[in-house]
Structure 1
């Protein structure tokens, strides 16, 4: 008998509006529980969440909104700064967003009354992804439909620009390989750039197209994953520039790929909405089939918890959380 892999979300949280982007804080910022950012049409919400799997005093999920920031534009992407600290003498909250107006905004807060943001302009078309790319949180890399990857300093000055051959879909930075960034292009090429010399140093190629999303594995710096066409694709550097493994992920095109933060073999993919629903699939490299399948009403965004095998997806006025096994 075939095992039924379809599951409802383990936890859900109601939101006032549709959620387009969701990002767990990937850094240890001294918080109790985890910080989560999610964005919609013109706002960003910062929340704290704790789960019973990490704290036995919690029943299910404990979710608390800390701050809401007016954004003015649709939120396309959110990146957490490693500078964020909750347990410092002077607490600091810092994150960046990409907006539908082709601008980057850096938000800074003391978690209380001091709130400010800086606008960075330079991309000539839509920005698809961005990331803080230094341990000090003083540099940001962004990619967009203008066929560029741009690196900015904390004051908004452009310090590097890499010309791409197609739209930049994803950009990633690894805290254990701090002088490189990974840039994924829609035509299936993934390149690594040296942030010191501003030179391309390695490239990977996908057979499938279009490549819509890629991620650099936190637990294994040699492992890269992506979705291209309707497949997930895995590279094991430096064996070959071509994938070591790939499998169909969704019936139609796949949309997002994210590695788990706590396992080098666990990852999630999402598909494009069909019949007003989006599919989430959670995969393990030791299993030939997905280990969990979930659906959300017009789901958007995908992010893994820093310590738990739990991922979040945004949806229609809701956040959905799926817990799986390692």
Structure 2
């Protein structure tokens, strides 16, 4: 990669702790600002972000911390509920996973109500989780224990899908709420019918590190395998339509932009010093943005801007991409 093609972050925000996971809420917050949460070693911090691209009166980024939840262990995964809003009666609801194999459902009204509900069942490390995107009454999680579990918030026992290898990613699409996409480490992405609990479609490739279902175009699925990124059109074939090398070392994460269905980002595996961020556009043969984050290990896109965030050692780094 040419040194002159490397871009510094468009914005940075300091944090009090190492950021292990960061997520923009993909849902409207009820205000002009977007909700963002990041997890460190013992806390989950919830904040609002407003960027100058959204409000001309803002210089750079306006970052306002709303609440810090104490968390018993390091936060390894995090997901937002669509019930989280700041207008009318404020409600924050998100779910986390930690190394003790438990999910924690965090709920706050930003005043007197601050609740933590623990959900147990997985027998190994939880790799990813997601809320049902319309009402937020269920959560899906995948684990190294070769299961995908769908939890009801009322505490009933979860529905369990048995996998053939560790689950690395799970996605729930707002236009396909009766289907669940699950990516397995050994190289299969399956779509499950949540009514019949049967697999209805599968996609194949080599070993998968991360996969994502395109928010703005549900026929598109992307993943990283080895050094490569791969894209499927699920209406055409179970094999990827596009595959290109991305990272010199193994790729770590794949995330679609929510603002543009041709835009996506990948990260390299975190090294001792830094992790590489590549932002790709399907209309360009080379990455449109190249960045590096200090031992960065997480990635999320803004819900409406072509802007992504990587969590680093005591800071958040944001890259804005020209579409």
Shift of 1:275: 4.3
C-alpha distance in 1 between matches for 2:192 and 2:174: 15
Q: Is the 1:95–1:108 Cα contact (8 Å) retained in structure 2? A: yes
Per-residue CA distance 1:218-238 (angstroms, 9 max, x = gap) = 110000001111111100012
The answer to whether the aligner puts 1:225 opposite 2:227 as a matched pair is no
Q: Is the 1:283–1:291 Cα contact (8 Å) retained in structure 2? A: yes
Q: How does 1:105-184 map to 2 (within 5 A)?
A: 105-184=104-183
Q: Is the 1:133–1:181 Cα contact (8 Å) retained in structure 2? A: no
Shift of 1:91: 1.8
Choose 28-37 or 260-269, whichever is displaced more.
28-37
1:235: which partner in 2? 232
Shift of 1:268: 0.3
Shift of 1:163: 0.5
Q: Is the 1:47–1:65 Cα contact (8 Å) retained in structure 2? A: yes
2:247: which partner in 1? 250
Q: Counterpart of 2:223 in 1: which secondary structure?
A: strand
Q: Counterpart of 2:5 in 1: which secondary structure?
A: coil
2:260: which partner in 1? 263
C-alpha distance in 2 between matches for 1:272 and 1:159: 32
1:57: which partner in 2? 57
1:46: which partner in 2? 46
C-alpha distance in 1 between matches for 2:267 and 2:62: 26
1:303: which partner in 2? 300
Q: TM-score normalized by structure 1?
A: 0.97
Tell me, which stretches of 5 or more residues in structure 2 are unaligned?
none
C-alpha distance in 2 between matches for 1:101 and 1:31: 35
2:269: which partner in 1? 272
Per-residue CA distance 1:245-272 (angstroms, 9 max, x = gap) = 0111100100000000010000000001
Poorly superposed stretches of 4+, deviation over 4 Å: none
Per-residue CA distance 1:255-309 (angstroms, 9 max, x = gap) = 0000000100000000012341100000000001101100011002100001100
Shift of 1:158: 2.6
Q: How does 1:189-228 map to 2 (within 5 A)?
A: 189-206=188-205, 208-209=206-207, 211-228=208-225
C-alpha distance in 2 between matches for 1:134 and 1:82: 6
Q: Is the 1:172–1:215 Cα contact (8 Å) retained in structure 2? A: yes
Q: TM-score normalized by structure 2?
A: 0.98
Per-residue CA distance 1:38-96 (angstroms, 9 max, x = gap) = 001111000111100111010011111100000111111111001112112x2211110
Shift of 1:217: 0.3
1:66: which partner in 2? 66
Q: Is the 1:150–1:158 Cα contact (8 Å) retained in structure 2? A: no
Per-residue CA distance 1:177-213 (angstroms, 9 max, x = gap) = 111110000011000011111111100001x32x111
Q: Is the 2:269–2:297 Cα contact (8 Å) retained in structure 1? A: no
Q: Is the 2:107–2:114 Cα contact (8 Å) retained in structure 1? A: yes
